[in-house]
Amino acid sequence: DSGVTQTPKHLITATGQRVTLRCSPRSGDLSVYWYQQSLDQGLQFLIQYYNGEERAKGNILERFSAQQFPDLHSELNLSSLELGDSALYFCASSAGSDTQYFGPGTRLTVL
Amino acid sequence: GEDVEQSLFLSVREGDSSVINCTYTDSSSTYLYWYKQEPGAGLQLLTYIFSNMDMKQDQRLTVLLNKKDKHLSLRIADTQTGDSAIYFCAEREDSSYKLIFGSGTRLLVRP
């Protein structure tokens, strides 16, 4: 158990819908990272927050957004969902710039 | 751009050693990581190595780094059936701290 929690574990929704994925980092970790794992793209970095502020952005679509709250938990919002958004979404956390520990992931299925 | 490459598949007999190879492109990466993913599970950090090290040993795991050739390897001694999983090599981009993953090597351990 890495200490990073993600909810929900599975999510099934329809095209065009909007979903929110939640992540709680390890106790004391200020950085949260979001990654997407899909069959065709592999593991791709989406976005990073550090103590509530956006720190780095990767291949994140404009339909996707994230935020980190004062209690350090983070949410990834995915809207206008398409079939191709079906993937495993991972959250990771780190104390600062060091080792990232990953949560169990949220499996999103868009029908 | 950054790219991390791994072979896709490795099959070994139980009790043998496994060697999983990885090449990366960003010579400025300070940290290089190995993660393990079991079916339906998240990414488990196995080990990491600083770029100024040649080798790191941690119980059954040995990481070798050839910085000149940008080659990283993970050796698993006395491989067990429980080691069957997908192994990901990752480099950390120092400017953003994002992890750049390889496509993963699926290790199959035959009894």
pLDDT by residue for chain B (111 residues), tens only, comes to: 568 999 999 999 999 999 999 999 877 778 999 999 998 889 999 999 998 899 999 999 999 999 999 999 999 999 999 999 999 999 998 888 899 999 999 999 999
For residue B21, the SS3 value is strand
Q: From the CA of A34, how many Å to the nearest CA of chain B?
A: 10
* Partner-chain contact B45 A31, CB within 8 Å: no
Question: Could you tell me how many CB contacts below 8 A there are between chain A and chain B?
Answer: 52
Pick among A1, A26, A43 to test the B interface (most B CBs inside 10 A): A43
User: Rounded CA gap, B41 and B44, in Å?
Assistant: 9
Return the structure tokens found at A73: 């938990």
Residues of B in contact with A100 (CB under 8 A): 45, 99
User: Rounded CA gap, B86 and B35, in Å?
Assistant: 8
* Partner-chain contact B42 A102, CB within 8 Å: yes
Dump pLDDT digits (tens) for A14-40: 999 999 999 999 999 999 999 999 988
Q: C-alpha A35: how far from its chain's center?
A: 6
Neighbours of A2 (CB within 10 A): 17
Q: What are phi and psi of A85, to 5 degrees?
A: -80, -10
